[in-house]
């Protein structure tokens, strides 16, 4: 019984304790290319052959479904026939964190 | 008898060297570097780290480079350890806020040697390093750059020559001077096994391409760069 309770606690509590907010994840991993303001003008863009997407532009983000956004964060640009410069973050974020990042992007572009 | 005295002297010197190196590490390095324990498990924990973890320094760094660099430290990450803490919006793109960049302490030759001796004994214990994992071989600079940039997009974050490439990650043109080849193979294969919150994504690069990337690092390190 004790073991079951412990297991349940581990499943419920640990992932939420380790998970980071979308804002914190965006700052840590996405700013470098997509920019502090999310406008695609990040620190790394100078020598890039393909410019990062402007997350603040409704127009630029309009063609992306939620599923596209989830897939491109999780599996990288190539997963939606876009640039290899967008890396896959599957080993960095949990699926829940990626879903939260998708919601964060939709707020940034005021798409919803 | 003389041999015994000499042996005792050498043993004592070794112990003393290690003790000195340990003392320097604690006094000069521990306020920024994590010397024991584990890598950051959360983003917030990562933000609190001020410099690279050193508890596996002996598995990661080339001893000769370490000793030299500690005497004449140069910037390896153009935007500092955590790029996102050292940038500001610029006219065309975000730029490094140089006023926020920290400089590294400088050690004397003797201190650097003692610290090196201790750091080289600090090895990771998870079995992540496989001796001989890097299989050797060479690659042309042009093909290497293709694998690095076109196939894997690594140049997005890393510079392959001074001022060319991304600014958020460590420069790659000195990587093989700084890092052991087997470490590079292991880290590229699974960065999160070393540091769960590292900014380095796991691209699940195919094994032959991991070898090619390390060959390219080595080729880059043989070029003549001012920094080293």
Say what the pTM is.
0.89
Q: Is B104 helix (H, G, I), strand (E, B) or coil?
A: coil
* Nearest-CA distance B51 → chain A (Å): 15
* Nearest-CA distance A112 → chain B (Å): 26
Buried b (16+ CB within 10 A) or exposed e, B48-60: ebeebbbbbbbbb
So what's the ipTM on this one? 0.90
Identify from A22, A32, A82, A100 which residue to disrupt to test chain B contact, counting B C-beta atoms within 10 A and taking the largest count. Answer: A32
* Nearest-CA distance B109 → chain A (Å): 36
**A92 touches B at CB < 8 Å:** yes
What whole-number percentage of chain B has pLDDT above 70? 91
All domains in chain A, ordered by first residue: 20-108 (1.10.760.10)
- Summarised one tens digit per residue, pLDDT across range B187-202 is 999 999 999 999 999 9
Instruction: Check residue B228 and give its pLDDT.
Output: 46
- Residue B205, token pair as written in the block: 């690069």
Question: Are A92 and B165 inside 8 Å of each other by CB?
Answer: no
- Summarised one tens digit per residue, pLDDT across range A26-76 is 999 999 999 999 999 999 999 999 999 999 999 999 889 999 999 999 999
Q: How many CB atoms lie within 10 A of CB B225?
A: 14
**Size of the A and B interface in Cβ pairs below 8 Å:** 100
Residue B54, strand partner residues: none
Residue B33, strand partner residues: none
């Amino acid at each position: 019984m004790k073991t079951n309770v412990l297991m349940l606690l581990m499943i419920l509590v640990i992932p939420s304790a380790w998970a980071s907010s979308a804002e914190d994840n965006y700052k840590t991993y996405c700013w470098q290319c997509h920019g502090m303001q999310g406008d695609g003008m990040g620190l790394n863009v100078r020598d890039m052959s393909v410019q990062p997407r402007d997350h603040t532009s409704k127009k630029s983000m309009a063609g992306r479904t939620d599923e596209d956004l989830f897939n491109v964060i999780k599996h990288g640009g190539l997963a939606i026939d876009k640039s290899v410069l967008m890396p896959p973050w599957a080993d960095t974020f949990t699926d829940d964190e990626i879903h939260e990042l998708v919601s964060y992007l939709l707020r940034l572009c005021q798409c919803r | 008898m003389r041999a015994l005295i000499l042996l005792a002297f050498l043993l004592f010197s070794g112990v003393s060297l290690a003790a000195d190196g340990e003392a320097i590490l604690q006094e000069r390095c521990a306020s920024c570097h994590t010397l024991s324990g584990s890598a950051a498990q959360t983003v917030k924990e990562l933000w609190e780290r001020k410099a690279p973890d050193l508890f596996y320094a002996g598995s990661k760094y080339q001893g000769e480079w370490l000793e030299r660099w500690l005497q004449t430290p140069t910037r390896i990450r153009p935007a500092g350890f955590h790029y996102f803490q050292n940038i500001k919006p610029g006219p065309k793109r975000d730029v490094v806020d140089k006023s926020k960049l920290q400089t590294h302490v400088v050690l004397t030759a003797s201190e650097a040697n003692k610290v090196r001796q201790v750091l080289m004994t600090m090895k990771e214990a998870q079995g992540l390093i496989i001796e001989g994992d890097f299989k050797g071989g060479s690659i042309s600079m042009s093909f290497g750059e293709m694998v690095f940039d076109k196939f894997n997009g690594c140049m997005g974050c890393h510079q392959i020559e001074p001022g060319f490439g991304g600014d958020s990650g460590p420069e790659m043109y000195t990587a093989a001077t700084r890092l052991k080849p087997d470490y590079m193979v292991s880290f590229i294969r699974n960065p999160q096994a070393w540091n769960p919150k590292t900014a380095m994504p796991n691209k699940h690069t195919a094994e032959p391409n991991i070898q090619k990337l390390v060959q390219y690092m080595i080729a880059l390190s043989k070029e003549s760069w001012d920094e080293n």
